[in-house]
Structure formats: C-alpha cells, structure tokens
Amino acid sequence: MLAIAAAATVAATLWLARSSDEAADAGPPTAPPLTEEQAQQLAGQLADTDPAVVAPAIAEAVRAEYQASPAPLLPEGGTLIIDLATFTPGTEVGYATVQASAAGPQTGQFLVALVYEDQEWHVLATMPQ
C-alpha cells in the first residue's frame, strides 16, 4: 500500500527493537494521544493523490526518501481509516502505533508507526497486517 513502507521499515525495526532498559531510562510518555481530528487529517493526507499533500504527513526521518520518488500512496478513489481504539503509545516518548485500513480500489490492514514531532503525529512506517 504505502510507498514509504519499504523505506521506513529499517527505522521502524530499529525503534521496535530497542531494549526495555533503554525505554525505562526514557521516563513516562509525554506525547499526547492521537485525536480524532488528527487521525482524520493524517488519513486524508495519506490518501491524497498529490504528493505535495502527502509529504507533510510523513516523518522527517523518511520524508526526503519519499520526496525523491513521490507518488500517490493509495490508488485514486482509495480511502484510509485510522482506528483510534488501537492507538498504542510506544515504550519511548514520542512514538506510537495504530491500526489502519485501506478501502476502495485497494484494500488492506496496516500497522502504522507514528512519531510525534513539531507538535503533530507523523507516519514513520507502515507494515501490512
């Protein structure tokens, strides 16, 4: 589904593989939960066919790679739904995951790794489920 999945898999793997000892040193999570408004905005940006609309939703760590070969992440007419009930803060401050589903010409279920930067949640990686 999302073209950033391959590019960000390494970053997400590194994030998910960190030891619990490192997480304990990070202190309690301080990033706010993903709100309904933010989830809808992210879903809309990721489903947009204009790469200029998609790029700001992608985390800074992987945005340049997306911009090097921009393309729509979903086929035209596709929609993305982020399931807020699955929002799970990471073991480190500023990271989280959430489930999403694509509908329309292409369907699928995805785990979305998020990073909180610039007072907003951004997509770091997606992994098909």
Q: Report yes or no: 74 and 53 within 8 Å, Cβ to Cβ.
A: no
The CATH number of the domain covering residues in 4-128: 3.10.450
pLDDT computed for residue 4 by the predictor? 52
Determine the Cα angle at 56 with ends 93 and 120, to 5°. 30
pLDDT computed for residue 1 by the predictor? 52
Give the tens place of pLDDT for each residue, 76-110. 999 999 999 999 999 888 999 999 999 999 899 99
pLDDT computed for residue 33 by the predictor? 95
pLDDT computed for residue 85 by the predictor? 97
Radius of gyration of the chain (CA): 14
Low-confidence ranges of the chain (pLDDT < 50): 2-3, 5-24, 29
Boundaries of every domain in the chain: 4-128
pLDDT computed for residue 25 by the predictor? 53
